[in-house]
Amino acid sequence: MARQWNVGVLGCGNIFDAYARLSAVFAPVKLVACADLNGEAAAAKAARYGLEALAPDALIAHPGIDAIINLTNPASHAATTAAILRAGKHAYGEKPLALTLADGDALVALADSRGLMLASAPDTFLGGAQQTARRLIDEGRLGTVKSGSAHFMNHGMERWHPNPHPYYQRGAGPVLDMGPYYVSALVNLLGPVRRVVALATTFFDERLVTADGPNRGSRVPVTTPTTSQALLEFRSGAQIHFSVSYDNWGHGHRNPIELHGTLGSLMVPDPNYFAGVAELHGDGEVQRFGSEGVAFGQDNWIEVKGTRIGNYRGAGVADMLDAAEHGRPPRASGRFARHVLEVLLAIIESAEVGRFVEIASTTDRPAPMTAEDAARLIAPDAPQTFAPDA
Ligand SMILES: NC(=O)c1ccc[n+]([C@@H]2O[C@H](COP(=O)([O-])OP(=O)(O)OC[C@H]3O[C@@H](n4cnc5c(N)ncnc54)[C@H](O)[C@@H]3O)[C@@H](O)[C@H]2O)c1
């Protein structure tokens, strides 16, 4: 039986419900309390999920809480995660880990000095789809990966997110908001990045919020690039074109990530999700590898429009707590997230300075998710399917 840990959640906004609902999947996670600067938001989530609503300081200081999931806005991540660690609690934060390298370094050092776990979203690379892609690469089915591409393109969040303002400010933008999914997936598959060169542009100086909520009709000034094109050179020698945009009305890129090697080409499933099909092209028939038989790879989540997706958000929290119990590094570790952050910041910096930016840090690839580890993370009575949220 996995140890169950008392877990608090700091930040009761848009993504809270996914974490709260999916916590039922994970054996080590017992949500007990939540907090937000907005006390009403905390009270509403607490009432819905049977949690204790606390003020942020009280949650962080609570002697009965072992770990805190940090779902605050990116600009608050560094300070709040540091406060969680200083209070002696394990910390799992939403992406990005921090907004500056100095803050990322400080968090990693703080966790190390206190002997605490630090881990960060995204955890989608723990999903069955990305783990299947990783297995195919590790089995040598692609030979040596030499090149590839990754694309994230949409028209931003003001049409669906009730509070899109922070996403268009410096320290956010698509590179730091969506980039973590793609770069984390690539580093999990290919290892660390050596250097980066990029260009950036912005199509619109302001955005009109049309999502329902108190900000509907307001205009958001845009102070960060909303389209970036980068070339990432990995230490392995692989060269990947990564383009990311909040300005594009549509696109025809069939695969979010593709990798090309000396023996095969791999169409990697969308790293924004946990489930998906990897497609291997080689010297014969195309082979398709679905994730439904792999841990965290089922289409378990029905969205409001009826689409089924794989959603195991929080797998990284469970893996972190299991790592604390067994004295091993968490897969979505702070060190890994810190390397990813350096790559993302380098994409932004390279476009500003007009030259390659070397990546000083390195990271090990996280251990593949084994069936044995995954079995420990899943609660015996885990729900198989989540109906659309009411
Ligand atoms: N919304 C999504 O679909 C989504 C998906 C994946 C990841 N994320 C990530 O999750 C995080 C939160 O995103 P969101 O969309 O829920 O944002 P949100 O703006 O809806 O909610 C953030 C909440 O954090 C609270 N907060 C901010 N600073 C705080 C502090 N110092 N102490 C306590 N509470 C504080 C705010 O009052 C707000 O209620 C971000 O890092 C984002 O990148 C969001």
pLDDT tens string 118-136: 999 999 999 999 999 999 9
**Same domain for 134 and 267:** yes
Smallest CA separation from ligand 1 atom 15, residue: 14
pLDDT at 389: 86
**Same domain for 167 and 132:** yes
**Same domain for 289 and 330:** yes
The secondary element (H helix, E strand) that includes residue 162 is none
pLDDT at 149: 98
Structural domains in the chain (count): 2
pLDDT at 228: 98
- How many CB atoms within 10 Å of residue 200? 21
Residue 220 — very low, low, confident or very high, per pLDDT cuts 50/70/90?
very high
Q: What is the pLDDT of residues 286-299, one digit of tens each?
A: 999 999 999 999 99
Across residues 48-77, what is the average pLDDT?
97
CB proximity list for 37: less than 8 A, separation 6 or greater: 56
Q: Which of 104, 122, 140 is the last residue of a domain?
A: 122
N-term to C-term CA, the chain = 32
pLDDT at 51: 98
Of 10, 12, 14, 303, the one to substitute when testing ligand 1's pocket (max ligand atoms within 8 A of C-beta) is 14
**Same domain for 196 and 74:** no
* Domain, as residue range, for 107: 5-122
**Same domain for 299 and 186:** yes
**Same domain for 116 and 213:** no
Residue 23 — very low, low, confident or very high, per pLDDT cuts 50/70/90?
very high
What are the CA-CA distances from residue 54 to residues 69, 80, 96, 99, 248 (Å)?
Answer: 14, 15, 25, 26, 41
Q: Which atom of ligand 1 is nearest to the CA of 12?
A: 39
Tell me the C-alpha distance between 328 and 163, whole Å.
37
Of 9, 10, 12, 15, the one to substitute when testing ligand 1's pocket (max ligand atoms within 8 A of C-beta) is 15
Determine what percent of the chain is predicted with pLDDT higher than 90. 97
pLDDT at 109: 98
Q: Per the domain annotation, does 288 fall within a domain?
A: yes
Across residues 203-224, what is the average pLDDT?
95
The secondary element (H helix, E strand) that includes residue 141 is none
Ligand 1 binding pocket (C-beta < 6 A) is 10-15, 36-38, 41, 56, 71-74, 76, 80, 94-95, 163, 177
**Cross-strand bridge partners of residue 198:** 230
Average of per-residue pLDDT values in the chain: 97
Q: Which of 78, 106, 122 is the last residue of a domain?
A: 122
CA atoms within 13 A on the CB side of 90: 23
Is pLDDT above 90 for 266? yes
CATH of the domain at 31: 3.40.50.720
**Cross-strand bridge partners of residue 219:** 208
Smallest CA separation from ligand 1 atom 2, residue: 15
Residue 170 — very low, low, confident or very high, per pLDDT cuts 50/70/90?
confident
Is pLDDT above 90 for 354? yes
Is pLDDT above 90 for 207? yes
Q: Per the domain annotation, does 301 fall within a domain?
A: yes
Q: Per the domain annotation, does 375 fall within a domain?
A: no
β-bridge pairing 265-268 and 145-153? unpaired
What DSSP line would sit under 224-275, residue for residue?
S-SEEEEEEEETTS-EEEEEEESS-S----S-SEEEEESS-EEEEPPTTSS-
Q: Which atom of ligand 1 is nearest to the CA of 162?
A: 20
**Same domain for 289 and 214:** yes
Q: Which of 69, 90, 122 is the last residue of a domain?
A: 122
Of 22, 73, 167, 341, the one to substitute when testing ligand 1's pocket (max ligand atoms within 8 A of C-beta) is 73
Is pLDDT above 80 for 390? no
What's the gap in Å between 302 CA and the centre of ligand 1?
22
Q: Per the domain annotation, does 373 fall within a domain?
A: no
Q: Per the domain annotation, does 66 fall within a domain?
A: yes
CB 324 within 8 A of CB 84: no
What's the gap in Å between 344 CA and the centre of ligand 1?
20
Q: Per the domain annotation, does 384 fall within a domain?
A: no
Residue 326 — very low, low, confident or very high, per pLDDT cuts 50/70/90?
very high
Amino acid of residue 149:
S
Q: Per the domain annotation, does 367 fall within a domain?
A: no
Q: Per the domain annotation, does 385 fall within a domain?
A: no
CATH of the domain at 203: 3.30.360.10
pLDDT at 17: 98
Tell me the C-alpha distance between 68 and 34, whole Å.
9
| Gyration radius of the chain's alpha carbons | 20
Amino acid of residue 332:
A
Sign, CA torsion 243/356/105/337: positive
**Same domain for 233 and 339:** yes
Of 72, 95, 103, 154, the one to substitute when testing ligand 1's pocket (max ligand atoms within 8 A of C-beta) is 72
What's the gap in Å between 140 CA and the centre of ligand 1?
40
**Same domain for 138 and 57:** no
Residue 93 — very low, low, confident or very high, per pLDDT cuts 50/70/90?
very high
Determine what percent of the chain is predicted with pLDDT higher than 70. 100
Tell me the C-alpha distance between 303 and 301, whole Å.
6
β-bridge pairing 90-93 and 227-234? unpaired
**Same domain for 166 and 90:** no
**Same domain for 152 and 60:** no
pLDDT at 1: 74
**Same domain for 130 and 113:** no
pLDDT at 69: 99
Sheet harboring 257-261: ordered strands across? 287-290, 277-281, 265-268, 257-261, 145-153, 239-245, 227-234, 193-201, 357-358
Is pLDDT above 90 for 332? yes
